Copies of this chain bind each other. A is one copy, B any other.
Amino acid sequence: MKLYSYFRSSAGWRVRIVLALKGLDFDLIPVHLLRGGGEHLGAEYAKTNPQRLVPALEDDGAVFAQSLAIMEYLEETHPTPSLLPGDAQDRARIRAFCQAIACEIHPLNNLRVLKYLVRELGCDEDAKLAWYAHWIQEGFRPVEKLLEGRDGPYCFGAEPTLADACLVPQVFNAERFNVDLSAFPKVQAVNAACLAHEAIAATVPALQPDAE
């Protein structure tokens, strides 16, 4: 398998966590999101992924886009260990958790959105950072609620699931932009547990071959 990604892409990181938890080997093909205006926007990468976003996963002669779809694909093709365990209700809760991050927080703080704020709306650095923090804090409030009453150490119990694969990169982004997370102790505790997990620890951006 080949993973097209960028060390700091949080959607790419989600997939790295899933690959690591399932013990799957892959070749990393770095796609630099900043260099030359973004290698992902170039004609070459468009041949691989017409959506021009990272990550993309190449497997068995085909290329797949969208991190959550890739994660489900890996779950279907490599079901052990399951990262989407339980019955239909359990699975719906794990998926809803993933989407509370992947559909409600991350899209608003994507690089291309931040660029639009600055270039088209004339936002200064403070306004950009306030936007960034706003959507993380708005978005982590329900995520924290979803973790209340749960024992941990991971989002859905004793083993990591797709939910944890979504949580960790989002917390990393928040910390990178100095967003105050003091209102989200459960989010922070799960994140710490994940980063202490051997397989997940190896997936952090700083340890990737394309890290800067």
Contacts and interface: CB of A to CB of B under 8 A. Distances in A.
A72 B93 contact: no
B100 A103 contact: no
A133 to B, nearest CB: 12
Contact of A70 (B92, B100, B117, B130): B92
**Stoichiometry, copies per complex:** 2
A3 to B, nearest CB: 14
A193 interface: no
A130 B120 CA distance: 10
A77 B89 CA distance: 9
Chain A contact residues: over half helix, strand or loop, or mixed?
A: helix
22 contacts: A51-B104, A51-B145, A52-B142, A53-B104, A60-B89, A62-B89, A66-B95, A66-B103, A68-B103, A69-B98, A69-B99, A70-B92, A70-B96, A76-B88, A76-B91, A77-B88, A102-B103, A104-B107, A107-B107, A107-B108, A112-B138, A120-B131
A64 interface: yes
A146 interface: yes
A50 B134 contact: no
A64 B92 contact: yes
A116 interface: yes
A76 B99 CA distance: 18
A137 to B, nearest CB: 13
Contacts of A120: 127, 130-131, 134
Nearest to A94: B69
A33 interface: no
Interface of A: 50-53, 60, 62, 64-66, 68-70, 72-73, 76-77, 88-89, 91-93, 95-96, 98-100, 102-104, 106-108, 112-113, 116-117, 120-121, 123, 127, 130-131, 134, 138, 142, 145-146
B73 A88 contact: yes
A76 B96 CA distance: 15
Contacts of A102: 99, 103
